[in-house]
Structure 1
Amino acid sequence: MSMDIKQIQDLIKFVAKSGVNEVAIEEKDFKITIKTNQEPTFVTATVPAAAPVAVATAPASAATPAPAPAATVTAEDTSKFITVKSPMIGTFYRSAGPGKPNFVNVGDEISVGKVLCIVEAMKLFNEIESEVSGKIVKILVDDAKPVEYDQPLFLVDPS
C-alpha cells in the first residue's frame, strides 16, 4: 500500500483539524510523519493548530474592545463576497516562484479551476484552484506568509 498526493493532503488536513502535534504512519513500503509545530518560528500571530479556534471563541476577545468591532466590520464588508479559504496549513505563495508573475491580482476575473495561489506544506507545493467564478476583490495574505487551515485567502465578488 502506498499513499497518493490526495491522501497525503487529506491526512495533513485531518492532523491540522485534530490539534495533535505529530502523526507517524509506517508501512513496509513507506513511512510518513506529520508534525504540526515543527517550525514554530514561522507561526506569527498564533500558537499550535488547535489554538486559533480557542482564540476565536475565547472570552478574552470579548473583553478586548478593539478585536470585536474589527470582526464585525469584516463580516459586514465581506457579506456580499465569497471567501476563498486555505484547505491546509502551510506557506502561501502568490506566484510559481521568485520573479514569476502572480497567479491573480486584485481586479482579475477568475473562473472555476483557475489557479489562485500555492500553499506549500511539508515541501509539497499545492496549487489552490478556485471553486467559484468572479472578480478578486482583496488578497488577505501576504506572499510567503504562513497560513492556517480554513484561513481566508481571497475575497471574490461573484457578480
Structure 2
Amino acid sequence: MTKNMKDVEALIRLFDQSDWVEMRLEVEGLSIVLSNDPSAGARALSTSAASVAHPAPMAATASAAVAVSARSPAAAGPATTVVPDGLVAVRAPNLGTFYRSPKPGAQPYVELGQAIEPETEVCLIEVMKLFTPVKAGVRGRLVRVCVEDGCMVDYDAPLFLVEPLA
C-alpha cells in the first residue's frame, strides 16, 4: 500500500472518530467525500464512480481545501469538559491529534501554572501530516490540560483551561 493510500485511510479513521456529518477534501485533482448521511452515498456513487475508480496520487498539503459540516451541539452530545465560571477554554481549531510538544520527547509548549499571552503557542493539532499550531488567544495562567498527549480531539473541544489575567 502506498503512503498516499495510508493517508486516505488515516483520514477515514479520523472522520469515523469524529461527530462530523460530512467532509469534502480536494487535493491535486483528487476529490474525497466522506459522509455519515445514508442518502449521500447513493448520490456520490452515481455522480463520481468513474473518478474514484482510479484516483490520482495524493500528497497531504497545507493548500488542501476542506469543507466540513459539523453536527449541531445538541446532536453531538454533552461536552466531556465543563468550563467552570471564571475560566476560559482554549479550544481545538479543527479535528485531529493533540500534541503538547513540538516533537516526541521535547518539553511541552506550556506547563501548568505558566503565564501565557494570546499569541503563546500552546500545542499542535495534526491531521494527515498537516500540523496546525494552536495559540492561547487569551492572557492568563494555565490551570488545566483537558486532553492527553496523542489523543484525538474534535473541532471546538476544550484543550486547556486558563484563568484570565487583567
TM-score (norm 2): 0.58
In the alignment, what sits opposite 2:94? 88
Distance in 2 between residues matched to 1:32 and 1:113, nearest whole Å: 35
Of the three residues 107, 110, 116, the one matched with 2:116 is 110
Contact in 1 for aligned 2:120/2:135 (Cα 8 Å): yes
Of the three residues 67, 80, 101, the one matched with 2:107 is 101
Which one has the bigger helix percentage?
1
TM-superposed CA distance for 1:35, in Å, is 4.7
Q: How many residues align?
A: 115
Cα distance change on mapping 1:124 and 1:36 into 2, 3 Å: farther
Q: Secondary structure at the match of 1:126?
A: strand
> How high is the sequence identity, in percent, across the aligned residues?
32
Cα-to-partner distance string for 1:4-62 (whole Å, 9 max, x where unaligned):
xxxxxxxxxxxx88621x42436xx644546589xxxxxxxxxxx638741426xxxxx
TM-superposed CA distance for 1:95, in Å, is 0.2
In the alignment, what sits opposite 1:146? 152
- Provide runs of 4+ in structure 1 moved above 6 Å: none
Q: Indicate yes or no: 2:21 matched with 1:19.
A: yes
Distance in 1 between residues matched to 2:154 and 2:133, nearest whole Å: 16
The residue type paired with residue 19 of structure 1 is: V
TM-superposed CA distance for 1:86, in Å, is 0.5
TM-superposed CA distance for 1:141, in Å, is 0.2
Distance in 1 between residues matched to 2:127 and 2:35, nearest whole Å: 10
In the alignment, what sits opposite 1:56? 77
TM-score (norm 1): 0.61
Cα distance change on mapping 1:25 and 1:134 into 2, 3 Å: same
Cα-to-partner distance string for 1:53-98 (whole Å, 9 max, x where unaligned):
41426xxxxxxxxx9xx97xx45xx110011110100000000111
Which one has the bigger strand percentage?
2
Q: Which entry has the higher C-alpha Rg, 1 or 2?
A: 2
What stretches of structure 1 of length at least 5 have no aligned partner? 1-15, 38-48, 58-66
Distance in 2 between residues matched to 1:130 and 1:150, nearest whole Å: 13
What stretches of structure 2 of length at least 5 have no aligned partner? 1-17, 37-69
